[in-house]
Chains A and B, each alone.
Chain A
């Protein structure tokens, strides 16, 4: 096959590219330039937007022995990921930009360009497994539970997944580093990237405040009583406990959590942990990673609502436009906008964007 290996400059994508090249595929390495000014979004060695990273990716491609190019996806990334990230926060929701990047960039813009240029698919260093099963080509959790990234890939539909290759699904991270070293890749010991690649220093709230302004609003309890002030409701997330800046203690002295964010009135509502408890989740815009489950039929499975969150036993059903989930045990704190991913054992069934909770 002819494959495009997306190379961030990190160890995972380098080993992924090396593995497919070694397997005899015709591979080119492509580093995505995601910022129109490569130093704009982030400086420093982590993340995906620096001169050092593009150099690391190029060096890895040269050592592997594959051609290397840089594709400018800055416009697509800004429109599809960064603007969506700001808009979601401005609407009081908590988005996951890595999901959007996979959905709109890596397995959309990049995959489409790869296909137009005569390639069969895109290889990444994500930790997930594609398997041929009786259900067709399906996506499963990686063998390394600590690194499993099936959650952030669950936004890919079957057509996108048909062109997606994840050579690291069957290996644990420590072994990836050992393999990188054996292959002579000097990124073998490069630190993992964390945080959001386009937010410098990981200061999410500060980044948002710079772009969305810092309009002062009220922090209130469930009865509407003012407890304090904040500098921009979007810097809070549902379930957040620390950094609320409330001066009036609760009657019983118990900790308070963010229950609700109301963007229209710029109000943050706080309350007790009990008030955060939910047992029902509704998700909109479902995406199926394999066969579409029959509509209006109840299934048993697991719901996951964070990249490295626990799988929550549940019953789920869908009507074509929404997935609704009844959790076996209550969950404390779930923001709208987060990704809801449904698993059947270790198989990813599909995903939706959390639209409401009860």
Chain B
């Protein structure tokens, strides 16, 4: 029940990967073999563009979602500041993924950027009033605005259209790693400047993702070299991974409605059973637009790492917050941004359901969860 971390690679993606790996040639070569691979990559790029709602030239393949986010944040910032030095403010939601927050912090520490975080409401969405008044007062000083399409710990979908209206001509980047392939997503329809999508969250292989970047927008590269991807991203084109990514995306989008409906039903069943069977458990940010699979629950008085350890001993996977580079568990910055106390944030677990889960999985979870919560509720640290 940790599908938001990653999901198993799908059969169609494995098949596409296997076939593509047997084909020789570098997609950037001038010869016949290279051209054949290039054709497959460009076919894939065009198909992905249709699935995302953008033009093929707007697709920049990267090695990870983190890389795509770094490219967007740093790339926009460097470009904007070089054109207009006073535009050094980066506005971002307070509960962005670390792949967005950390590049911003790096720019603050090393490049003179200013960071402004949009507060999060109790409903788990950004505070649009704050954004509206901040942008009104600082319009000509903002380099970019970053708001994720949906939050990875809560599952809440963010009001991106409203953000874009408020932003006007300020570029808006949206990390859609958790949304793409799970809920309707239309890049051009939304009017985004850039977005990040990733293969391994939708049944594609690890190590491939994409930055969708509006045509005509320049960003400064992070990786310099051959300039294979629109002269913005360098590195040999990973043709098999890209082709497999797109096969997974096709599969996800084709089956989006039926899968979402059944995963959403599972989530409601899980929510129902937890509410009924675990006294004191609180479901976090479940109202409003939501991803089908994510359910975030606070079990007051517990420590999430103890809950996860005990669930793990029953071979049940879930997650909580994030860990620092040494692996030390930290209370979720997402819940802290929503105004949770450190102890409540630390008492919260994210269950994320996917196509591999069934009602039987939830029944198994619920046979052990009451006891796990009781054990983890004892004073487990001195």
Contacts and interface: CB of A to CB of B under 8 A. Distances in A.
B312 A51 contact: no
A71 B329 CA distance: 7
A162 B323 CA distance: 33
Interface string A19-37: 0000000001001010000
Contacts of A117: 306, 309-310, 375-376, 380
Contacts of B305: 69-72
A38 B326 contact: yes
B287 interface: no
A73 B329 CA distance: 11
Interface string B312-347: 110000000001111111000000000000000000
A108 interface: yes
A76 interface: yes
Nearest to A74: B328
Contacts of B329: 70, 72
Contacts of A179: none
Contacts of A76: 381-382
Interface residues of A, number: 25
A58 B309 contact: no
A51 B323 CA distance: 12
B327 A31 contact: yes
B312 A116 contact: no
A118 interface: yes
B184 to A, nearest CB: 39
B65 to A, nearest CB: 23
Contacts of B327: 31, 33, 54, 58, 70
Interface in A1-59: 28, 31, 33, 38, 50-51, 54, 58
Interface string A116-149: 1110000000000000000000000000000000
B379 interface: yes
B31 interface: no
A329 to B, nearest CB: 41
Nearest to A52: B326
Contact of A116 (B324, B326, B328, B375): B375
Interface string A182-204: 00000000000000000000000
A71 B330 CA distance: 10
A4 B324 CA distance: 22
B378 interface: yes
A113 B377 CA distance: 11
A118 B376 CA distance: 10
B382 A116 contact: no
Contacts of A74: 328
A262 to B, nearest CB: 34
Contact of B382 (A33, A51, A112): A112
Contacts of B375: 116-118
B328 A70 contact: yes
B205 to A, nearest CB: 23
A51 B329 CA distance: 13
Nearest to B379: A116
Interface string B282-319: 00000000000000000000000110011011000000
Interface of B: 305-306, 309-310, 312-313, 323-329, 375-376, 378-382
21 contacts: A31-B327, A50-B326, A54-B327, A54-B328, A58-B327, A70-B305, A70-B328, A70-B329, A71-B305, A72-B305, A74-B328, A76-B381, A104-B382, A108-B382, A109-B381, A109-B382, A112-B380, A116-B379, A116-B380, A117-B306, A117-B309
Given A31-B327, A113-B382, 11 more contacts: A38-B328, A51-B325, A69-B305, A69-B309, A72-B328, A76-B382, A108-B382, A112-B379, A112-B380, A116-B379, A117-B376
